[in-house]
Structure 1
Amino acid sequence: MSAPHGTDRSPGSVGPDRTAPAARSALELRQEREVRGLTDADLPRLRRRTSGVLIAAQVLGGLGIPISIALAPVLATEVSGTEAVSGLASTASVVGTALVSLPLAALMTARGRRAGLVLAYVIGAVGGGLVVLAAVLKNFPLLLLGMAAFGAASSANLQCRFAAADLAAPDRRARAISTVVWATTIGAVLGPNLSAPASRSFAGTSIPDKAGPFLWAAGIFLLTALLIGVLLRPDPLLTARALAGPAEQSTAGRSLRAAFAAVRASPRARLALVTVAVTHTAMVSIMVMTPVDLGHHGADLQLIGLVISGHIAGMFAFSPVMGWLADRLGRLSVIGLAAGLLSIAALLAGTAGANHAQTAAGLFLLGLGWSAGLVSGSALLTDSVPQAARAAVQGLSDLTMNTCAGVGGAVSGLIVSQAGYGWLNAVGAALLLPMAGLALFTARRHPAPVEGAGADTAKD
């Protein structure tokens, strides 16, 4: 690995320029401490270590979220005394995930990935405790506040994929992201199965059984925060900055205003932002109403669970394949694949009726298309903006995708009630048209920049 342009380093060293002016900020000094003594030979080991810590965090975080989130509507009904507001608990969690995204990105921009991830998981743990307190006190507003704070853990899980990309080589960046996304599979599979024993563990106490899993989740989030705080060293974002050229060292390009400017200035970044927002919105909108449609066509809870399990497998289990394709074939090619898979999924699910096997196939492809869009869009976004602005832009991306998905999930129920599940799938497919059109336009008018042009090279 050669030293970035404009630095003066000893052979084999990738540490900071020791001849730089003495007047440096505290953050710059911290960046120097993070990479002191790091050499070219150390980078592969550091990448593996960083990836291992993030995978472990993703498994734990992914375990804590589904262990309790499925019980949120039931607990909301018990606390409020009515089913009319049961959906607000899950909505509050989604809103919390979106609201935390930008402050979390701002903290990471200023202090690095470690500080932001630790704080987000701690907030999620506090949220779990508030949910339990709300259940004991039968206080519905406190329950909603707790669920909003609980959503911070979801935001941290999403940001882990970007932390994996910080030190990855450009031609392996999508695979680094996809490996961390894949790790969510373990928690997503095990979490729901632990809900029952977690509920029984507080039998005989004042804690309601439906609230018990939230206390377990709080403990898991605290363990995850401890893992990251102790082992995610050196900080991947601070290390990546320290290894970058002098042009990337200025703090002027790290504000949220600079993040908006970076997206506006890059057609490929705009495409990436649209991709993650549209694929996530289409997936969430269709997925949340599928159990309702299956129930209308005579499916029992076991069958509904199998269909959703297949959907989750499509979302996470094959993400390494999507990462490999995005690195080998190019980000835009996999964005096109995402549009195709999601369109076929909407067609199959929307026309299935009482054919449960067809619905299951549609939901599996829905998850697969989401995986293709999230991995390729996240990699393209990281490729397309300057190093200094990446953390802020990534936070903007998560805010956008979660806000759009929250709106989509809310509107999907209205569409189904007024027009039917088939029309919901048609609307979901229609959302993909501008994304596909923008991808074609970008591929023709704004090809991947050549190396040295100010962005990382990506094959398209």
Structure 2
Amino acid sequence: MIELTRTTIQKRTLWVLAISQIFGTIGVGVAPSIGILLAEEVTSSEAWAGLARTASTLGAALLGLPLGNLAARFGRRFALSGGWWLAALGALLLVPAAQFQMVILLFAGLLLIGSGSAISLQSRFAATDLAADDHKGRSLALIVWVGTIGTVLGPNLGVPGQAISNATGLHVYAGAFLIAGIAMLLAGLLVFLLMRPDPLLLIRENDRSAGAALPVRQRGSLKRFASELRNNLRARYAVVAILSAQVVMVAIMTMTPIHVTHHGGSVSLVGITISLHILGMYALAPAVGYVADRWGYRFSIGAGLAIFAASLLAGGLHPESMGWIMTSLILLGVGWSFINVSGSALFATVISKQERASVQGGVDALSNLCGATAAFAAGPLMAISSFSALTVIAAIVLLPLAAMTSLVPARAGAEN
């Protein structure tokens, strides 16, 4: 395949991924907002509602590896479209769950909608399949960045949901999830119809045509994932970066609204703080991708660690100042962006071609699982200590990554 053709196909792939990501994340974005409100209404129990709140995250963790295996076997097109459609099914199950207050459908729907989160993550890796090594960071960051649009719009589906409710008599939450389901159906349809040729299958075909030797597959998805990490130092470094950033970000973000309200902050202040945090997570992603490509992944991960440190210091030293807490959350989002984008791009660069889709699904599943665990643990930890103590624990979590960044030989932290 001549380079011009590869470049043209890559541009087409990025367009398809970007547009489908916008539609898909509109649907995914409804789960942590309206999904929480629905869970509280349907269950009428804080304990059960708490489980329902984490169902979508658990779904993303459980489905990440199978969807990665689907991509490995049949290509990105089938995995991404199938994942969006599975998430759409989850959203549509939540329509009767809201309308008729059905607990079983509530849990099933939220679990399946987690497929959308898994596919949103897998889409960023799909953007790197045909990208040149010195452009993988920017390609991945573009897909992360456009997801901001859906992430912002999704939590606000209650407004058109109310309009549907007024016109049809549907419950307002049912109307919101109906819109979410349609959006994710469209995302899957766009990928299925337009992602041709499939970037992952195209790479394999080119390797076969060039006579490249491909490693023999091991049995078992988990064995392949574990083997890749055991034998690939740079992959281990990337995974530690991704997981560390996820744990720290989720733990602090989860407890900030409670901390703010306990210190007299209003609900609107909580909303503004979280919105600015999300903006920090995604708005600078293209710039982060450029930095990673230009100066190396280890440099940008180190920058993310420094920003994380500033965030934790701001929140830990000034826990009663809402201005400092807001600053802390913005920096937390930016630090996460630097480490997550850089770690993900490094991972996409250094993993073996034969195991690419499977192990990418594995790291996404592990990331979601770690995020869910961090969310569960953060509450009890802060209950028995304080918000400042939680920032100290978060800083300790970052120490292994800091050690790897400073001590691992240059070849283990560079992109080449």
Report if TM-score (shorter chain) is over 0.5: yes
Partner of 2:361: 395
After superposition, residues 236-385 of structure 1 pair within 5 angstroms as 236-244=199-207, 245-249=210-214, 252=217, 256=221, 257-385=223-351
TM-score, structure 2 normalization: 0.95
Distance in 2 separating the partners of 1:193 and 1:274: 34
The structure where helix makes up a greater share of residues is 2
1:48 and 2:25 aligned? no
Instruction: Name which of 90, 99, 105 aligns with 1:136.
Output: 99
The one-letter code matched in structure 2 to 1:293 is H
Pair member with larger Rg: 1
Partner of 2:186: 223
Q: How many pairs were matched up?
A: 413
Distance in 2 separating the partners of 1:127 and 1:198: 17
Distance in 1 separating the partners of 2:160 and 2:216: 49
TM-score, structure 1 normalization: 0.86
1:186 and 2:149 aligned? yes
- State the identity %: 36
Q: State the shift of 1:254 in Å.
A: 8.8
Distance in 2 separating the partners of 1:216 and 1:399: 27
Judge which range, 131-140 or 249-258, deviates more.
249-258
Distance 1:445 1:235, change over 3 A: closer
What SS is found at the alignment partner of 1:387?
coil
Gaps of 5+ in 1: 1-13, 15-38, 449-457
Q: Which has the higher contact order (CA 8 A, sep 6+)?
A: 2
After superposition, residues 106-185 of structure 1 pair within 5 angstroms as 106-185=69-148
Gaps of 5+ in 2: none
Distance in 1 separating the partners of 2:278 and 2:147: 10
The one-letter code matched in structure 1 to 2:184 is F
Q: State the shift of 1:250 in Å.
A: 5.6
Partner of 1:83: 46
Instruction: Name which of 372, 387, 405 aligns with 1:421.
Output: 387
Distance 1:254 1:166, change over 3 A: farther
Q: What's the Cα RMSD here?
A: 1.8
Q: State the shift of 1:255 in Å.
A: 5.7
Q: State the shift of 1:169 in Å.
A: 0.1
Q: Are the aligned partners of 1:166 and 1:240 in contact in 2 as well (CA < 8 Å)? A: yes
Distance 1:193 1:142, change over 3 A: closer
The one-letter code matched in structure 2 to 1:373 is I
Q: State the shift of 1:231 in Å.
A: 0.7
Distance in 1 separating the partners of 2:128 and 2:224: 20
Partner of 1:431: 397
What SS is found at the alignment partner of 1:314?
helix
For residues 7-39 of structure 1, the C-alpha deviation after alignment (integer angstroms, 9 at most, x for no partner) is: xxxxxxx2xxxxxxxxxxxxxxxxxxxxxxxx3
For residues 125-148 of structure 1, the C-alpha deviation after alignment (integer angstroms, 9 at most, x for no partner) is: 111111222223322132111100
Partner of 2:198: 235
What SS is found at the alignment partner of 1:125?
helix
What SS is found at the alignment partner of 1:310?
helix
